[in-house]
Amino acid sequence: MTERIDIQNEKLAEQIRKQLHLEESEMTSLTVFTKEQLASVTNLEITRRVTDISWIAKYCPHLKQLVIKSTSAKDTYTEDDKADLRYWLYQVGITDFSFIKELKNLEILEIDNDCQLETLDLTGLHQLSSLTLKGNPKLKEVKGIEELSALSELTLVNNSAFHPTFAIEKMLQQGLTNLHLDFDCYPFLKRQYPNIHQMLLSATKDAGFVCDWQENMSDIDVTKLNTLQMEKMYQEAQQILDFTIEPHFSDLEKITAIYTYLVNYIQYDHEALKAATEGEKNDALKRAQQQHDRKVTTILNRRQSSYNAILEKKAVCEGYCNMFHYLLKAVGIHSQVVQCSQDLRKKVCGEDSDHGVVRIEINHDWFYFDPTYDAENVSGENFFRTKEEFSKNHVLSISEKEIVSPLEKPYSLDEMNAASQKVAQEMNHKIERRKAETKETNVDLGSTQTSSSSSTTSDFEEHFRKKYTGGEEDFAPQSDIDAMDEIFREQEERKHIEGDHRRKMF
């Protein structure tokens, strides 16, 4: 008797019927197939919730292409009472991905926006030529990737927890021709391969090799950089980290230091936002946006990216958040950029999100930060907030539903204040040293110019205090800016970066 298998999924069954040219009238049940029929399946795309996928590895030995794609919050309509159900239904819901390594004939694999995927084992998939992993926030490890001898195309973007440790040099030698990696992968690969930019630039000279670096932009587009741009951004980011972070800093102090830098020294780009807003008023552009032709991103011209925030010190909200995430990940702190809205009339937001914030994992709990708001409003109101606290002035994305608000914070208010004071003092010491060195240099040159004298409360510390107690000053004093610029200039000269990559810091 012919073995029959009920796959218990109408959407997948419809795909299989079309692929095998089966008419509904030929089927005893629309989700039941013979073993021989399933063995002929070569392509599957899973886009809705499934209850059981164990049959794929067992009955589809000739599967060549597998796409597993959950919806993103940005693709979810939330202005009715069915938003939760709609979002849940389009989350695939696979909890065990171990079946994939049994698909020995697989050539193309793509997994997008999966909230369950943490580890992916690709060991033994010697036919795999294309791998795409995008928007999987819990993905930390991909095993066996450097052993994929047939791999020619690799895309790893917007997997916020992922730490790349694969042998990229070996993969290039094996024939990798298309490489698309997230901005936040670069610092990790740079540690493995200090000359990675030279390695990739050399490979790019060969006909057919394509490499770019990508950063998620509101879950609707990406910002792309070439390797030279990525190296330039990396060097500037390292200078910022060298200035803000001390080797002995705790995680709390690292977070505080980077946040302090963001809210004090990155300017909100009102001109870019105004241009984008005016563009959205144009009917033709509005229609284009509705068709997912996001021309507004051209108007913003990377203002949503960490690239502009780091190099030009200007950004809109998502630029602040992307920079925060990039720097945090570079120092080993797990974070994720989150979409939200400040329209408190909404219950939840999805496709109508209009603001970006950052969620940081500390001791297995999550806490929220809004550097844009705090930079613009001269406050620390949105620093280190629980979900419950944060939700008082933010409407979070529907994707945040599963995040549990912790009952207490891992640090007391006194500990957070102590960290803030320590960070301010460490930064100020560096600034004061630079001022003193500059003054000595001026005296040696016979200059009549003198640096401002020190006071009991330093310029930076006083400015930092004002930012968090309602002072009027928007950005750091010019004397501090000049001193910091000198620090960064000296660091860059020491590093002997190829070419003239210098950009004035402020």
What is the per-residue pLDDT across 191-236, written as a single tens digit (0 to 9) for each?
999 999 999 999 988 768 999 999 998 888 889 999 999 999 999 9
Residues 272 and 382 in one domain: yes
Q: Is residue 205 part of a domain?
A: no
Residues 221, 214: Cα–Cα separation, whole Å: 10
pLDDT digits (tens, 9 = 90+) for 125-183: 999 999 999 999 999 999 999 999 999 999 999 999 999 988 999 999 999 999 999 99
Structure confidence at residue 464 (pLDDT): 43
Q: Is residue 158 part of a domain?
A: no
Residues 381 and 242 in one domain: yes
Q: Is residue 136 part of a domain?
A: no
Q: Is residue 143 part of a domain?
A: no
Q: How many domains does the chain have?
A: 3
Flag whether pLDDT at 295 surpasses 70.
no
Flag whether pLDDT at 286 surpasses 80.
no
Residues 406 and 340 in one domain: yes
Q: Is residue 62 part of a domain?
A: no
Structure confidence at residue 272 (pLDDT): 61
Residues 136, 156: Cα–Cα separation, whole Å: 10
pLDDT, the chain, mean? 83
Q: Are strands 130-134 and 153-157 parallel, antiparallel or unpaired?
A: parallel
Q: Is residue 88 part of a domain?
A: no
Flag whether pLDDT at 284 surpasses 50.
no
Residues 367 and 476 in one domain: no
Q: What is the pTM of this model?
A: 0.82
The most confident of the ranges 270-279, 308-317, 359-368 is 359-368
Residues 320 and 432 in one domain: no
Helix (H, G, I), strand (E, B) or coil at 368: strand
**Residue 293, amino acid:** D
The most confident of the ranges 17-26, 72-81, 180-189 is 180-189
Residues 400 and 480 in one domain: no
Residues 267 and 327 in one domain: yes
Structure confidence at residue 269 (pLDDT): 82
Chosen domain end from 414, 442, 464: 414
Residues 355 and 253 in one domain: yes
Query: Residue 78: which pLDDT band, with cuts at 50, 70 and 90?
Result: confident
Which range, of 17-26, 137-146, 167-176, 299-308, averages the lowest pLDDT?
299-308
pLDDT digits (tens, 9 = 90+) for 393-449: 999 999 999 999 999 999 999 999 999 999 999 988 888 887 887 776 666 544 433
Q: Is residue 65 part of a domain?
A: no
Flag whether pLDDT at 460 surpasses 80.
no
Q: Is the separation of the CB atoms in 262 and 371 below 8 Å?
A: yes
Residues 407 and 468 in one domain: no
Residues 390 and 431 in one domain: no
Q: Is residue 106 part of a domain?
A: no
Residues 276 and 403 in one domain: yes
Q: Quick one: what percent of the chain has pLDDT higher than 90?
A: 61
Over residues 71-90, the mean pLDDT reads: 86
Structure confidence at residue 138 (pLDDT): 95
Q: Quick one: what percent of the chain has pLDDT higher than 70?
A: 80
Domain extent for 434: 422-495
What are the C-alpha distances in Å from 33 to residues 4, 9, 14, 30?
5, 12, 11, 8
Chosen domain end from 398, 414, 430: 414
Chosen domain end from 414, 443, 466: 414
* b/e map 334-354, b = 16+ CB within 10 Å: bbbbbbbbeeeebebbbbbbe
Residues 48, 71: Cα–Cα separation, whole Å: 9
Number of residues written out for the chain: 506
**Residue 242, amino acid:** D
Residues 267 and 380 in one domain: yes
Structure confidence at residue 480 (pLDDT): 45
